[in-house]
Amino acid sequence: MKQDQEKRLENLYERYLNGDISRRNFIRYLSLAGVAAGLAGGPFSPFSRNAFAANSIRFDGWGGVVSEAFREHAFNPFTKATGIKVVDGEFGDMDTYLTRVKASFPPGGEFNLAHLSGVFDYARYVGLGYDVALDESKIPNLKYVMTAMMEPYRKITNGKLSAVPYDYGQTGIAYNTKYISKDKAEKMGASLLWDKDLNKKLGSWGDWRTNIWYAALHTGQNPNNITDLDAMWNALRQQVPMIKKYWGSGAELMSLLANEEIYATVAWSGRVAALQAQGHPIGFLSPHNCYSWQECIFVIKGTDLNVAQQLLNYMLEPKAAIAVAVGQKYPPSLDPTMVPMPDEVKRLPEFDPTGKLDGYLFADPAYWNGHQVEFAEKWDRIKAGG
């Protein structure tokens, strides 16, 4: 009986490490198993200590070529070096992922590290109380990270960090050079996404922020301070019937462009670079005030900080960070004036050789988080034809 119970617990633990069951359900099953067996000590006690020890950590990211780069160049080598398994999950957008985090128990629950996009997401998680205070002495490779990328986070958390900046990029405009000339794209700028000649050959991401940002550019406004909301909303109403597809993931974006189902769309710079590397005739346009962003690895409250800090430091090691950058096609957060970058990184469309990110317009967290409910609800109605 005792051996059968231990065997069942071992199988359960293996399923948890493989990501087949969530941490929440694992804890629930483990507790029920303990109660059912009447085990307050004995073989259950050492198993419990082992089960809750730092043998794994979960990382949620953007999937596709991005997740492949993390897995190959960071997670698998880290596991080989430490024996700690990195269970990687995927998401398509930040709002849906946050809903999952909120629904876990306790809030955060089985979630540990997340590849968050934008300082506004960092601010959202901090506002919900999901942040931690990292011990930076345990992450010595932070010394290589651009100061310009760390400062926005420190301002939100009183000088501390609950995340480390990891990469940056732009959501610009991808266009098929077989059907759209470079001269036309550069002349039209953001308004290319409203070109009537491209009716039903346009795409966009379903994300409310991105669409509002580009509608602001199309109407000649600062996306971080939209003064004529009616003009912006009307522009989106005009555009919706012209859109063939609102894509939901980087993989879908790449498929739509590669198969020539769409000729122009808002697009993540790294996914465009990946298409270009595959030989597809895709150009990338960064219009004035292009939507620039930086991504961080956020540590969610309740995570084993010792393990998280080990993983973060490993990921910031220049060799690993540069390999991930080349793989996912986004420049690393490492300061290029301190860490020499290979040509594969220097050729990325959004790479900044100065390490200062001057001229990159990032979303203002106070503005966008302050309008989230209003803007998201209105966008959903317009997207649905309202």
Q: DSSP labels for 116-127? A: EESHHHHHHHHH
- HSE on the CB side for 327, CA within 13 Å? 18
Which residue is associated with the tokens 């465009």? Answer: 272
According to DSSP, the β-strands at 113-117 and 361-362 are unpaired
Phi, psi of 265 (to 5 degrees): -165, 155
Question: Which pair of structure tokens corresponds to residue 135?
Answer: 């011990």
According to DSSP, the β-strands at 163-176 and 291-299 are antiparallel
Question: Which pair of structure tokens corresponds to residue 104?
Answer: 């876990």
Nearest to residue 321, comparing CAs of 170, 171, 164, 172? Answer: 164
Asked if residues 185 and 173 have their Cβ atoms less than 8 Å apart, the reply is yes
Identify the burial level of 333 via C-beta atoms within 10 angstroms of its C-beta, where 0-12 means exposed, 13-18 middle and 19 or more buried: buried
pTM of the entire predicted model: 0.78
For 13: left if phi > 0, alpha if psi spans -120 to 50, otherwise beta; the answer is alpha
Nearest to residue 132, comparing CAs of 21, 296, 316? Answer: 296
Partners of 247 in the beta sheet? 205
Question: Which pair of structure tokens corresponds to residue 6?
Answer: 């231990």
Cα–Cα distance list, 193 to 94, 140, 211, 222, 340 (Å):
23, 44, 10, 17, 37
Asked if residues 193 and 264 have their Cβ atoms less than 8 Å apart, the reply is yes
Partners of 293 in the beta sheet? 169
According to DSSP, the β-strands at 291-299 and 282-285 are unpaired
Residues contacting residue 329 through CB under 8 Å, at least 6 positions apart: 65, 269, 270, 271, 273, 274, 277, 348
Asked if residues 280 and 257 have their Cβ atoms less than 8 Å apart, the reply is yes
Question: Which pLDDT tens digits describe the chain residue by residue (386 residues)?
Answer: 445 555 565 565 555 444 555 555 555 555 555 434 443 333 333 334 344 445 899 999 998 888 999 999 999 999 999 999 999 999 888 889 999 999 987 766 789 999 998 898 999 999 999 999 999 999 999 999 999 999 999 999 999 999 999 999 999 999 999 999 999 999 999 999 999 999 999 999 999 999 999 999 999 999 999 999 999 999 999 999 999 999 998 899 999 999 999 999 999 999 999 999 999 999 999 999 999 999 999 999 999 999 999 999 999 999 999 999 999 999 999 999 999 999 999 999 889 999 999 989 999 989 999 999 999 999 999 999 87
Letter for the amino acid at 59?
A: F
Which residue is associated with the tokens 């071992």? Answer: 10
